[in-house]
Structure 1
Amino acid sequence: MSENTSQTTTGATGTTEPAPFPWAPATGVGSLPGGDAREAAKTVTGSFEDFPFLAELPGRGPGADMIGRTAGMLVELYARVEPSGWRIGDRPGRDTRRAHSWLGEDLDALEEFTQGYEGALKVQAVGPWTLAAALELRGGEAALSDSGACRDLAASLAEGLRLHLADVRKRVPGAWVVLQLDEPSLTSVLLGQIRTASGYRTHRAVDRQVVESTLRDVMGAHDGPVVVHSCAPGVPFALLRRAGAAGVSFDFSLLTERDEEPIGEAVEAGTKLFAGVVPATDPATGPGAAPATRGLSDPGVASWVSGRCGAGWG
């Protein structure tokens, strides 16, 4: 999805036209240190006045982490914490309730500090392929091992995102909502590098067309812009663009010469680039401290500053 068409402007001819999305120059990836939702919301709305985001506070424990938070959004699928990680279960339990509680607390805080706000607002969720690589089936193997489980998981995620986004719009009615799908495992899924439960083998690579189609279906849950974030090397820019991503968020320090051509093609196609250049280990520097970056600072290149992954601004 490239534009949010829920708001309109009147053009020179007097006709009603979709308003351009109000992209801002800087935002954060999502996670912040600490465990105080109100303090996090205050920090985010104060530091990113033109592009705040719904903060994630993984330091609070299971259910506040990116996998648990997104698992709590699933519809008619539930997950619980096992020693090996998050595992799909038969019914909602304590871990699901905890994830709902943390998310509700974060939304309450965001609503409090965005009274009267109008502009871009970003919310994050784990994408279908990283979720499939992280969630275990009942036998302990990743959902990635079962194509049917992957389809069910993607459908459940899409429906959960629709409900979540509707709640965000209700709480912050003036927001132009951007959905960020976190896909740090996407490259490993495409290359067949996700290890099995035994650790001795890897799951076979998923067909690129299947990956692209699934991403497109999940992105369809949102009628506004979708940005896909990956903090891993080898981000598949072309695949994400074809799947419908309006923007791609990545760690600038991991780019290589091989990325220059797909990035150039993405820019020419109008894809927004969110370059992670602010170290997560030093939040005091703030988003405005990032230096100009090779290539992405050239005139005409649509790029935005973002934090790197980690427990700071990223």
Structure 2
Amino acid sequence: MRATGIGSFPGTEQRDQDEALAMVLGELGGDEQGLPFLPEVPGRGAHATMVGRTLGLVGELDADLQPSGWRLTGTSGSLPLDQRRGRSLLSQDLDGLEERASGRTGGFKVQVAGPWTLAATVERPRGDKVLADHGARRELAQALAVAVADHVADVRRRLPAATELVLQVDEPALPAVLGGGVPTASGFGRHRTVHPPEASDALRWVLEGSRDAGAVPWVHCCAADVPFDLLRGAGARGVLVDLSLLDADGHDAAAEALEAGDTVALGVVPSEEGGPAGDAALVERVQRWIDMLGVDLDRVSGSLLVSPACGLAGASPAWARRAIELSRSVARSLTG
């Protein structure tokens, strides 16, 4: 059994990013029980958020930053300044990673925002979300598929000794997209439901892009109603979830994924201080879950990870470190 994190960390400056990376590599990069990852420090500004970093990768569409958030410009040519800043900041983070970890073997994980979370967040040139326009959301997903393939190739070049590269596609908005729960610009209505076949197609393009470039595609969805079947049908070989949010169907779907040999990362460590935070209590929680599913822990432990429930951007620096330490400790205890 391994331990990992979701991605985000607290902080507001570049040194916070550097310290987070050093901590992740120190806690999770020492042996095969850890899956280290590239931290994100969104407190550095809009260009450092999940959406800003991902749009920086998407060279086929232009986007700029408005008071309401990120917006596609509908123009082509050189990337707008805000998009270039997002790309530059991510490149700077990758430079730091390469400097510290280029010779490391084992696995490594990087994260991008998924096509449906982008569609539910980014605006069209004339207003409202990309989600409102079938053609625009298709174009965005296809551009993202190209971008993640290039991103994976870049990370592989920087980490040539890594034996496994995981691309985590963050889709916190996907359940709302499928359920017609994303608000319109006015706030008085909701965008129409996106039906599963279309949702699956867009995800498949992105996941296949990462897989063809040499990464193992996972999807993170720390929300209720995680659509396990849709994610796995689209090509996700791993799903990261908040265990406290899973309903009965979610538990069953997680068991099916494990039985099939796919990865499940259990978010059991609180993302902020509070709740059960001792090693023994968290180990017992995972063991109870395994017993409830009726699966053999020894048989599925290679496909099971322990992580914080969600990102750590809202935590204190001390708790962010403690959450990663606890994830590693719980995984070690369950493996032993």
1:240 paired with 2:231, answer yes
Q: Give the alignment of 1:138-149 within 5 angstroms.
A: 138-149=125-136
Quote the Cα distance in structure 2 between the aligned partners of 1:282 and 1:262.
29
CA contact (8 A) 1:27 1:287 kept: no
Quote the Cα distance in structure 2 between the aligned partners of 1:247 and 1:202.
30
Query: Matched residue of 1:180: which SS?
Result: strand
Q: 1:132 to 1:113 in 2, by over 3 A?
A: same
> Unpaired segments of 5 or more residues in structure 2?
324-336
1:258 paired with 2:249, answer yes
Q: Over aligned residues, Cα RMSD in angstroms?
A: 2.1
> Unpaired segments of 5 or more residues in structure 1?
1-23
Q: CA-to-partner distance for each residue in 1:114-144, whole Å, 9 max, x for gaps?
A: 1310111000000111111111001221001
Q: 1:287 to 1:98 in 2, by over 3 A?
A: farther
| Aligned counterpart, 1:20 | none
CA contact (8 A) 1:278 1:289 kept: no
1:72 paired with 2:50, answer no
Q: 1:63 to 1:218 in 2, by over 3 A?
A: same
Matching residue's letter, 2:119:
A
1:231 positional shift: 1.0
1:253 positional shift: 1.2
1:93 positional shift: 2.3
Quick one: which of 89, 92, 107 aligns to 1:120?
107
Q: CA-to-partner distance for each residue in 1:138-163, whole Å, 9 max, x for gaps?
A: 12210011111111101110111111
Comparing both structures, which one devotes a greater share of its residues to helix? 2
Q: Give the alignment of 1:31-50 within 5 angstroms.
A: 31-34=8-11, 35=13, 36=15, 37-49=17-29, 50=34
1:107 positional shift: 0.4
CA contact (8 A) 1:72 1:99 kept: yes
**How many residue pairs align between the two structures?**
290
| Aligned counterpart, 2:46 | 62
Quote the Cα distance in structure 2 between the aligned partners of 1:26 and 1:220.
25
CA contact (8 A) 2:265 2:304 kept: yes
Quick one: which of 156, 169, 174 aligns to 1:169?
156
Query: Matched residue of 2:240: which SS?
Result: strand
1:45 positional shift: 0.4
Quote the Cα distance in structure 2 between the aligned partners of 1:242 and 1:62.
33
1:268 positional shift: 2.1
Q: Give the alignment of 1:213-228 within 5 angstroms.
A: 213-223=201-211, 224-228=215-219
CA contact (8 A) 2:59 2:79 kept: no
CA contact (8 A) 1:278 1:286 kept: no
Query: Matched residue of 1:107: which SS?
Result: helix
